[in-house]
């Protein structure tokens, strides 16, 4: 992040009246926390702010101050579009059309694979978009407040698994410490992010785990969620969240694989613990992500996809043993 | 913590050659992390350091640098005994005898209920003994190193549930940030503390959860672990750890109760989420703990104890709704 980028960021905001901020598809804590922070920051600057997002706000993030996915119908043109936490323009969904029509565009993101798709790209390999946005807003003329700090803290906490992943650096902790000084409700944030597993989600986890399959001395673990299991647990698709991390946290497991059945296709989530590369497992299927967390959507039925994934996962395990990552 | 206390701490260490540091019964991450840090600090000062501890090191803390529970046979007398994370002298077990024989004694602890049982008591209501010890060692003449920082970070992370509990303050994050600057292995620490649920522990959790019982619109959840279930899962008593937190994290649950069968008695663990007081539930049975985490050992069989606990838990839920804590 260069001084020139920061200067332009503030200059373009100053020159713009109508600003639209963009959420990505299937928004997560880093995305919605960062949007919450930027939304409140721009409101404090008396800007007209539109929040673009196509998908609904997950239950565990409904607590964010003034959160609601605002609109998918943005007819007008905007002076400035700011995309947050989007590695490429397609993460905006239909929002990419508004993005392209906007007078100026900014892309703030922490994904290594970012395609630099905007007029101004502030991209840094760091724990979270939340930490990057903190660094940016901390250099502004406005002081932060509880709402902004709550958004940023939620973003950072979400994308570091509460300060556990190795993307967590000294600066991540210093950012969190400074944000705590704005009187943020840490208990409320923690309860919402980490202690709010719904009844349906809980029974789905327990039911799915009954049929866990281990490979290679338990270094690989695979769990499947057929569509009818979700019905049986009175759950919904998003209730599969957290299962793959639960599998990863089993002691001998290095590669955790979750297969979620959809009509004619299967959504695959991969987590790795210490040395295997999650991206390598999904790349053959057109997927993407980070070294420790990646995903793909693969056509075929559950059992077919399972066999394909097993093969690639075993290969990655062998490769990673030799090289590590 | 006063300047006078810090001055005495360093003065007494300087005047002492043979120093013994004391671990408490059933040691946890805060205790063993703090001991690891102080052990390495005193070695750097060329002191003869003895580590007192009666119980074995839990699997998830074996990664701490140079950790081993040193000895229970300490015949000689010591110039200085430093107890860490002990609310009262009995937490030292048989070690209290050595404590009493020692020339000088120091008690460093963060429990509100600390009885100030030493010659010098450095007691502060703060996230962890690790954070308190960080504040003390940060004022010393020696610089910290990777081993000391790893111990302190582990202590802080353990006792805050990885920076989630409301005891986590801005200063807790700043301490963690400074410790990160000593090149500590955060991935190794996180994997050991949070991603190392053994196969036996995993199946015990899944099996025990099958018979979860909910009360009062799911605000209370009770899970029992009969002795034969542990055998069935090829587990051991300590494999029940983590189950009660798993129950607490179910969305509507305010009071989580785990009942572990022993011969002729039942060990009870309570966790509360936001407003109920865990201590109130165990006090009638002679138990103790913190507001959000408490425990007791009650004679009787599983079903008898379950009925007794249900009654008190329902009463606490009603009280807490009126008063909160």
Kindly tell me if the per-residue pLDDT of B114 is higher than 60: yes
CB contact under 8 A, B199 and A248: no
Residue range B38-46: mean pLDDT, rounded: 97
Half-sphere exposure of B46 (CA within 13 A, CB side): 2
CB contact under 8 A, A210 and B209: no
Cβ-proximal residues to B89 (8 Å cutoff; 6+ apart), any chain: B83, B96, B99, B115, B117
Q: Please tell me if residue A324 touches chain B, with a CB cutoff of 8 Å.
A: no
pLDDT (tens digit per residue) in A66-84 = 887 666 566 678 999 999 9
Kindly tell me if the per-residue pLDDT of B76 is higher than 80: no
Q: Please tell me if residue B202 touches chain A, with a CB cutoff of 8 Å.
A: yes
Lowest pLDDT segment from A25-39, A285-299, B220-234: A285-299
CB contact under 8 A, A174 and B169: no
**Which residues 166-185 of chain B have a CB within 8 Å of chain A?**
166, 168-174, 176-178, 180-181
Of A70 and B130, more confident:
B130
- Picking from A195, A252, A274, the nearest residue to B187 by CB comes out as A274
**Which residues 263-282 of chain B have a CB within 8 Å of chain A?**
273-274
Evaluate whether ipTM surpasses 0.95. Answer: no
Residue with tokens 């993307």: A167
pLDDT (tens digit per residue) in B176-219 = 999 999 999 998 999 999 988 999 999 999 999 999 999 999 99
CA angle B194, A259, B250 (to 5 degrees): 45
pLDDT (tens digit per residue) in B225-261 = 999 999 999 998 888 988 999 999 999 999 999 999 9
In percent, the amount of chain A with pLDDT more than 90 equals 84
Of B263 and A156, more confident:
A156
pLDDT (tens digit per residue) in B281-311 = 999 999 988 888 899 999 999 999 999 999 9
The per-residue pLDDT for A177 is 98
Average pLDDT along chain B? 93
Residue range B131-149: mean pLDDT, rounded: 97
Count of CB pairs separated by less than 8 Å, A with B: 106
Q: Give the pLDDT band of residue B39 (cuts 50, 70, 90).
A: very high
Q: Please tell me if residue A6 touches chain B, with a CB cutoff of 8 Å.
A: no
Kindly tell me if the per-residue pLDDT of B132 is higher than 90: yes
CA distances (Å), A178 to each of A63, A85, A159, B278, in order?
Answer: 21, 22, 18, 31
Report the alpha-carbon distance of residue A101 to residue B49 in Å, rounded.
70
The per-residue pLDDT for A75 is 66
The per-residue pLDDT for A76 is 77
């Amino acid at each position: 992040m260069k001084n020139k980028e920061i200067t332009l960021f503030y200059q373009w905001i100053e020159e713009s009246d109508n600003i639209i901020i963009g959420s990505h598809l299937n928004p997560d804590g880093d995305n919605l926390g960062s949007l919450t922070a930027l939304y409140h920051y721009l409101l404090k600057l008396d800007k007209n702010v539109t929040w673009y997002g196509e998908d609904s706000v997950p239950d565990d993030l409904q607590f964010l101050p003034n959160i609601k996915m605002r609109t998918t119908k943005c007819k007008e043109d905007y002076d400035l579009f700011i995309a947050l936490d989007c590695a490429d323009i397609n993460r905006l969904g239909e929002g990419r059309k508004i993005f392209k029509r906007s007078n100026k565009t900014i892309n703030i993101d922490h994904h290594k694979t970012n395609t630099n798709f905007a007029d101004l790209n502030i991209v840094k390999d760091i724990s979270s978009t939340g930490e990057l946005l903190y660094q940016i807003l901390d250099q502004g003329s406005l002081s932060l407040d509880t709402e902004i700090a709550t958004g940023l803290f939620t973003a950072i906490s979400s994308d570091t698994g509460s300060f556990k992943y190795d993307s967590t650096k000294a600066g991540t902790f210093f950012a969190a410490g400074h944000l705590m000084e704005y009187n943020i409700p840490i208990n409320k944030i923690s309860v919402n992010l980490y202690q709010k597993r719904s009844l349906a989600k809980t029974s789905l986890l327990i039911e799915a785990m009954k049929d866990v399959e281990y490979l290679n001395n338990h270094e690989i673990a695979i769990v499947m969620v057929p569509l009818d299991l979700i019905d049986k647990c009175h759950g919904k698709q998003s209730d599969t969240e957290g299962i793959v991390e639960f599998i990863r946290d089993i002691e001998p497991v290095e590669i955790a694989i979750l297969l979620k059945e959809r009509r004619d296709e299967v959504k695959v989530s991969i987590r790795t613990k210490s040395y295997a590369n999650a991206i390598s497992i999904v790349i053959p299927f057109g997927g993407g992500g980070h070294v420790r967390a990646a995903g793909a959507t693969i056509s075929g039925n559950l059992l077919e996809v399972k066999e394909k994934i097993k093969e690639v996962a075993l290969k990655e395990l062998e490769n990673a043993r030799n090289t590590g990552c």
